[in-house]
Structure 1
Amino acid sequence: MAGERADGPGGPDGPGDDGGEGGGEDPLPFGVAGLDDRLGAPLRPGSVVALSADPASPSEELLYPPAAANPNRYLTTLRGAAEVRAHADRTVDTGSIDVREATGSSLLDDPAGSFSGLDPRSVVVLDPVTELEREGRERYRAFLDTLVRAVRTTESVALLHCLRMNPRALQRDLTLAVADTVLELETYVDENGGPVVTLAARKARFGRAPAGPVPLSFEDGPAVAGGSGAGTDTGE
């Protein structure tokens, strides 16, 4: 399935980019061995990262390692907290993941409260962001503005899980415009009928442009396919 466009702001309605923040400190570890080197270290302090993927893909498994490898806040708007922990427990230490249930309305009504008390250099996961994108444009834009201020103030990273929808989520252009990095997970079948999964950085506002898509395997948690390292990396 073709990826969503992520090549610039969505016109005059898109949130502004002041170009002077984000990416100035050491990147936060992604938590998957070898992936930072292959993707140009996408988790830059003070930045927003969008992970775009099909709903039937294993994209959820890419949310757990960054959370487990850093101080974190995991906001789940679809699955229950217990379900998230049970799924993540297959590959990471869920005792280190602060999973909180939220709704689109609660996050939009009080965005500042949702991010208060955030530890420095945290990873804030929003899984998924679709429910918020379906709300009014101005409310969602105000939420994104608050999110950007929160991660820049604390040198944290927001990781937004962007499921591709048909029809497309109403405010997805705002999400991709404000995102400093857009990662696209693609799945397809090779000539032998086997599944192939790749991850690529399609937008990298503060990092170097990677050479191309990175092949991944998910047999025992996410890993760079064919790499010397496998599984998750705590970043310690």
Structure 2
Amino acid sequence: MERLPTGIPVLDRELDGGLPAGSVVALKADPASQSELFLNTFAGVRETLYLTTVRSAEAVEGGLSASAVETGDPVVEAVDGEDPIEDARERLPSIPDDGTVIVDSTEPLEDADPLRYRSLLTDLVARTNETDATAILHALKTGGEPSRNRLVTEQVADVVFDLRTVVTGTAIENRLAVPKFRGGAALEEPVKLKLTDTVSVDTSRDIA
């Protein structure tokens, strides 16, 4: 099966070259983390449709322009109508062949009726398979009760990236776990990352 690079070398090495074409990826992360670095990096690898459900399209475009990583020239569209599920569905035909679609973030869609949300994900899976694209679902951890359809997001996803950010008295530690990898091998242990203005390996030693 063809692998599509993520644009993050350490991750591509761990994943035997990247993500299988047609994959739906759930990127779980704390809202205060640097998870947008991952989205910006993914956007720079291939032609990208960036669907924003919370921030305005202008805010996303400004963040992409200011990013230190190469973000390419993604098409940014806001999913902000009265019916976000249908608004998102209408944009699925715009997912580029061999490209990437980013949904940032999933919460407003996950708040919808479960049957309608499952139907949207079914259409998303069909479109990514048809185009050999990659779908990135930015699924933020709220710290309280998860969104009503978060389990559905994780079950449908072919790959789950779980970014864990821990703030100590002296440092901020970021580890990326890949507990689920349909069509490949999940990572046996989290990868320690350094998230500044780019994504790199954290080579600092853990002190017990």
The two structures have a TM-score, normalised by structure 1, of 0.79
Which portions of structure 1, spanning 4 or more consecutive aligned residues, are displaced by more than 6 angstroms? none
Partner of 2:163: 185
2:44 to 65, 68, 77: 68
Gaps of 5+ in 1: 1-23, 228-236
**Secondary structure of the corresponding residue to residue 79 of structure 1:** coil
Question: Residues 175, 102 of structure 1: CA spacing in aligned structure 2 closer, same or farther, 3 A cutoff?
Answer: same
Partner of 1:49: 25
Deviations 1:196-235 (A, max 9, x none): 00111010111122231111112232222239xxxxxxxx
Separation of aligned partners in 1, 2:129 and 2:81: 22
1:59 deviation in Å? Answer: 1.0
**Secondary structure of the corresponding residue to residue 96 of structure 1:** coil
**Secondary structure of the corresponding residue to residue 142 of structure 1:** helix
Partner of 1:168: 146
Matches within 5 A, 1:33-48: 33-48=9-24
Question: Residues 198, 84 of structure 1: CA spacing in aligned structure 2 closer, same or farther, 3 A cutoff?
Answer: same
- 2:75 counterpart of 1:98: yes
Matches within 5 A, 1:1-236: 24-25=1-2, 27-89=3-65, 90-103=67-80, 105-165=82-142, 166-189=144-167, 193-226=170-203
1:156 deviation in Å? Answer: 0.7
Separation of aligned partners in 2, 1:112 and 1:36: 30
1:177 deviation in Å? Answer: 0.5
1:195 deviation in Å? Answer: 0.8
Question: Residues 104, 55 of structure 1: CA spacing in aligned structure 2 closer, same or farther, 3 A cutoff?
Answer: farther
**Greater relative contact order: 1 or 2 (C-alpha under 8 angstroms, separation 6 or more)?**
1
Separation of aligned partners in 1, 2:148 and 2:203: 38
**Secondary structure of the corresponding residue to residue 51 of structure 1:** strand
**Secondary structure of the corresponding residue to residue 36 of structure 2:** helix
Separation of aligned partners in 2, 1:66 and 1:200: 17
Deviations 1:125-148 (A, max 9, x none): 000001000010111011011000
Question: Residues 180, 41 of structure 1: CA spacing in aligned structure 2 closer, same or farther, 3 A cutoff?
Answer: farther
Separation of aligned partners in 2, 1:82 and 1:44: 31
Question: Residues 222, 105 of structure 1: CA spacing in aligned structure 2 closer, same or farther, 3 A cutoff?
Answer: farther
Instruction: Report the number of matched residues.
Output: 202
1:193 deviation in Å? Answer: 2.1
Separation of aligned partners in 2, 1:69 and 1:86: 19
Higher strand share: 2
Q: CA RMSD in A?
A: 2.0
Q: Percent identity?
A: 35
Partner of 1:13: none
